[in-house]
Amino acid sequence: MTGTIKAVIFDFGGVLAEEGFREGLWAIGRKNGLDPEEFRKTADELIHETGYVTGRSDESRYWDMLRMKTGIKGTAPELRDEIVTRFVLRPEMIGLVDKLADRGLITAILSDQTNWLDEIDRDTPFFRHFRYVFNSYKIKKSKRDPSVFRDICAAMGVDPDTSLFIDDNAENIQRAANEGLKVIRFHTVDLFKREIAKFVRF
C-alpha cells in the first residue's frame, strides 16, 4: 500500500451498482410524458425536501408529494420497482472491495439512500463485503451536509486524510475533499482501477 490510506469508502448507486435512481426517474418521466431530466431534478430535490432520504419521512409521503407536484401516475410499488430493479451490482467492483479488505483496509459504503438499500441487500446480499454501511436514511444525514464525512471517519476510528472516498457525483467529491479526505470521482470500472492504483497497491 502506498501513502497512509486506512479506509476506502464507496458510494453505492453509480459506483458499486448501476445508477438506479437516476435511470429509474428518467423512465418514470418518459412514461408520463415529461422531460426526463427535468423530472429527475424535481424528484431528486423532493427526496431531500421531504426528508425521505434522511429517514425523516416515509416512502408513501414522498410518492404522494411527487405525484402532487408533477402529475405522475402509478402506485408506490410500481414507481419503486422502476428504480430499485435498476440498481444492478457491478461484480468487478465487489471483487475490488474484497481485495482491499484482504489487504487490511477498512471498506465502507456511504450512500444517500432510503430503506431501499436494505431491501436491495436482502435480494442481492452485498453488505457482508463491507465493515461499515452508512446509509443517510439511518444516520439522518446526507452527503449534502459536509460534516457527514468527518462523522463517518470518526465512527470508523480513522482520520479524514487517511480515508479515500469514491463517488460519481462531482459535488459530493468536492465536499469530501474539502473535509480532508482523498477522493476519486468514478467514471468507469477500468478508469477506477487505474485511479485507485495511485493510492493502493494490489
Local structure of residue 49 (DSSP, 8 states): H
3-class SS string, 7-48: EEEECCECCCECCHHHHHHHHHHHHCCCCHHHHHHHHHHHHH
Q: What is the pLDDT of residue 2?
A: 42
- Spatial contact of 75 and 82, defined as CB atoms under 8 Å apart: no
The residue behind cell 416515509 is: 58
Residue 1: predicted pLDDT: 40
- Give residue-wise pLDDT tens across range 152-177: 999 999 999 999 999 999 999 999 99
Q: Which amino acid is at 162?
A: T
Could you tell me what percentage of the chain is helix, strand and coil, using 3-state DSSP and rounding each to the nearest 5? 55, 15, 35
Count of CB atoms situated within 10 Å of the CB of 61: 13
Q: Give me the mean pLDDT over the 76-85 stretch.
A: 95
Task: Write the pLDDT tens digit of every residue in 6-46.
Answer: 999 999 999 999 999 999 999 999 999 999 999 999 999 99
Residue 3 has pLDDT above 90, yes or no: no
Per-residue pLDDT at 201 exceeds 90 = no
- Number of neighbouring beta carbons within 10 Å of residue 124: 11
* Average predicted confidence (pLDDT) for the chain: 96
Measure the CA–CA gap between 21 and 27, rounded to whole angstroms: 10
CB 26 within 8 A of CB 36: yes
Whether residue 105 has pLDDT greater than 50 = yes
What whole-number distance in Å separates Cα of residue 21 and Cα of residue 26?
9
pTM to 2 decimals? Answer: 0.95
State how far the Cα of 55 lies from the Cα of 115, in Å rounded to an integer. 8
Give bridge partners of residue 182 from the DSSP assignment: 164
Q: What are the phi and psi torsion angles at 41 (to 5°)?
A: -60, -45
Three cell numbers, residue 33:
410524458
Provide the pLDDT for residue 55: 97
182 pLDDT above the threshold of 80: yes
Three-state DSSP state, 72: coil
Cell of residue 157, nine digits: 476510528
Q: Give the DSSP H/E element, type plus range, for residue 185.
A: strand 182-185
Return the C-alpha cell found at 54.
434522511
86-99: per-residue pLDDT in tens?
999 999 999 999 99
**Rounded mean pLDDT of 104-109?**
97
